[in-house]
Structure 1
């Protein structure tokens, strides 16, 4: 039976990136159908009292998130490939952590070119034209899991969690086994959380 996965992501988040690369490995060894949906750390932190340095990063994060919202609405079949293209630039390419409005404009341009999406998708990055759309996608994640979260939010056959948070990307059957365990936990309606102190940052290859 095909397992249904909804994966809400913000391309700027290294933890979402690691989890997404795990899901790409799971696709190779399990029968799953993934719906890739944007959410936004900028929306999540909008109006919050956050440090100035982090606020500047949130300003930068609006651009890519807006582009993903427009792509999800108008070319949803391209979201997966665009996330891979832009995420590779941001994380494997070391171009994350940018600050200030428009900081990801070049990353957006390169990502769109790589997946053959027209330039007009980039036009929304520094406007609020699709903010209601982005907030709507984001709200679906929060409705599914609650507001005490970050990214990613992953729904497994309809049950959503923040995470799994992983720092390394398992491959092959190890990826499938981790997925099986996550799906197993999701089957219990009274299971909510496992957590331990993280001792390493994402190991991006």
Structure 2
């Protein structure tokens, strides 16, 4: 294992939980990709599910179809991670989210097969979409990310280690569009500062923009 030189800290591990169908998580992921270029972070993706999150909740009619269709992509993501390792998740998530949010490809079989091909993963992983074989692992991953931030939030969720090694878990940031370059780094610095402040819980304002992906 390579250790940082004396007096030097290693990269900050940033664990992020994603569902390919969430536009806000996709923008936050793209922001963190920018942060990787200007700050020392080790970004690790994990799977959560909006369908799991909203089980038993009253949701608007227009979201109910997505609640059902949304199981397929996250099941395929978990199957890919379990069968091909953690490194398989990032390219698959990227391919799915690009197809869903930029190309309006929906959540169905064609989108998932295209994403698997773009991520250089076997097409047979599509079988996971329609079965419950990976649901226990999906729920475990979901709760590992979501439980530390409480029941009132959605996605994106990020975990980072605190100054003393304690877990800092938070919802957000929700931002549109994604900042680039050093602006992305400054936002990262600020997010760490507020999230790591003992007793800090909330900073919020009304959302006045739809998701902007470019």
* Equivalent of 2:133 in 126, 129, 133: 129
CA distance in 2, matches of 1:49, 1:86: 27
CA distance in 2, matches of 1:180, 1:82: 28
CA distance in 2, matches of 1:54, 1:34: 30
CA distance in 2, matches of 1:135, 1:159: 21
How far the C-alpha of 1:69 sits from its partner, in A, is 1.3
CA distance in 1, matches of 2:22, 2:196: 27
The SS at the match of 1:34 is strand
Structure 1: unaligned runs, 5 residues or longer: none
How far the C-alpha of 1:68 sits from its partner, in A, is 1.1
Matching residue of 2:208: 199
How far the C-alpha of 1:186 sits from its partner, in A, is 2.0
Runs of 4+ in 1 over 6 A off after TM superposition: none
How far the C-alpha of 1:187 sits from its partner, in A, is 1.8
How far the C-alpha of 1:4 sits from its partner, in A, is 1.3
CA distance in 2, matches of 1:90, 1:108: 10
How far the C-alpha of 1:83 sits from its partner, in A, is 1.2
* Equivalent of 1:118 in 118, 122, 129: 122
Structure 2: unaligned runs, 5 residues or longer: 1-8, 162-166
Which of the pair has the greater relative contact order for Cα pairs under 8 Å at 6+ separation?
1
CA distance in 2, matches of 1:91, 1:18: 10
How far the C-alpha of 1:136 sits from its partner, in A, is 0.7
CA distance in 1, matches of 2:127, 2:61: 27
Matching residue of 1:144: 148
> 1:22-33, aligned counterparts within 5 Å?
22-33=31-42
- Give the aligned length: 199
Q: Does 2:97 align with 1:87?
A: yes
The SS at the match of 1:125 is helix
Matching residue of 1:175: 184
Conserved? CA contact 1:38–1:138, under 8 Å: yes
Matching residue of 2:164: none
